[in-house]
């Protein structure tokens, strides 16, 4: 079951969640990409047509575009060229066409990365995160270091370490961890987390919160107990002086 939230409450701190536009006319593939993006906490919109996609970009600039080449309306090469002329949005081209020329042409037209179909969704997500890491400069994020037990977070470098060893977090996982570490002992409801991490006006299932918390716990290893479930409410982070 999917619960859909419309977030209009205030108190947003982390800016809007990152918006990914998927331009893909094959619905199965678009759905697959959307599923994985939302699971990773991104906001996703899909366009099946190059012209429609261009209009969407003009109306609401996405943080990243995943782009198919063979499209009705406007082909992916023209779309890529037009977007890059006007905007600095990372574009990952996904194409079924074989041969190196597509990849070379896409990159020459300004695409930031190229993935050949059939692709592994995990690989595509890794590339999405990698592109977003390059541009992630959220002015709202506080600066400095936060440490609890074996966990330390560098909010400038967007890195987290357990026992001095760097752990790989998605941007969403990082934001969740940072928010908790800045507010030890405070319980956050799923709604509140959706607001603070993904941003208001987001249509996303609160299951995304649980999925991200679960993954974050796994990555916290020996310190995972600090991320506590607060029955009937949500989650909280246990600081050093609490039990
Ligand atoms: Ca296509």
pLDDT at 7: 38
* CA 96 to ligand 1 centroid distance, Å: 8
Give me the average pLDDT of each 10-residue run along the chain (243 residues): 38 50 96 92 93 92 92 92 85 81 80 88 90 60 73 85 91 90 88 80 76 94 94 90 62
* CA 97 to ligand 1 centroid distance, Å: 9
Provide the token pair at 213. 């918390």
Do the two domains 19-136 and 145-237 of this chain adopt the same fold? no
User: Per-residue b/e over 186-197, b at no fewer than 16 CB within 10 Å?
Assistant: eebebebbbbbb
Give the chain's end-to-end CA distance (angstroms, integer).
34
Where do the structural domains in the chain lie, given as residue ranges?
A: 19-136, 145-237
- The CA distance from 204 to 202, in Å, is 6
CB of 65 closer than 8 Å to CB of 21 = yes
* CA 76 to ligand 1 centroid distance, Å: 9
* CA 50 to ligand 1 centroid distance, Å: 10
* CA 48 to ligand 1 centroid distance, Å: 9
* CA 115 to ligand 1 centroid distance, Å: 13
CB of 23 closer than 8 Å to CB of 51 = no
* CA 77 to ligand 1 centroid distance, Å: 12
pLDDT at 101: 77
Class of domain 19-136: alpha beta
Domain 145-237: CATH architecture, name and number where available: Orthogonal Bundle (1.10)
pLDDT at 8: 33
pLDDT at 242: 63
pLDDT at 14: 25
pLDDT at 172: 85
* CA 123 to ligand 1 centroid distance, Å: 19
pLDDT at 99: 67
* CA 72 to ligand 1 centroid distance, Å: 8
DSSP three-state, residue 159: strand
């Amino acid at each position: 079951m999917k619960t859909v939230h419309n977030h209009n409450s205030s108190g947003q701190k982390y800016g809007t969640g990152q918006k990914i536009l998927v331009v893909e006319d094959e619905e199965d593939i678009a759905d697959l990409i959307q599923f994985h993006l939302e699971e990773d906490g991104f906001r996703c919109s899909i366009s099946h047509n190059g012209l429609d996609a261009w209009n969407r970009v003009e109306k609401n600039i996405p943080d990243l575009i995943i782009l198919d080449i063979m499209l009705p309306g406007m082909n992916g090469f023209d779309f890529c060229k037009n977007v890059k002329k006007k905007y600095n949005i990372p574009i990952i081209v996904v194409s079924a066409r074989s041969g190196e020329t597509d990849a070379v042409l896409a990159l020459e037209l300004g695409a930031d990365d190229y993935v050949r179909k059939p692709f592994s969704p995990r690989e595509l997500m890794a590339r999405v995160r990698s592109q977003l890491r390059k541009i992630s400069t959220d002015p709202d994020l506080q600066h400095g270091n936060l440490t609890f037990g074996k966990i330390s977070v560098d909010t400038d470098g967007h890195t987290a370490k357990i026992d001095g060893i760097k752990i790989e977090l998605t941007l969403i996982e990082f934001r969740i961890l940072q928010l908790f570490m800045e507010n030890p002992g405070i319980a956050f409801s799923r709604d509140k987390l959706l607001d603070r991490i993904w941003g208001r006006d987001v249509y996303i299932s609160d299951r995304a919160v649980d999925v991200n918390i679960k993954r974050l716990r796994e990555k916290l290893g020996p310190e995972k107990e600090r991320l506590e479930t607060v029955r009937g409410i949500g989650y909280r982070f246990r600081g050093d002086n609490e039990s």
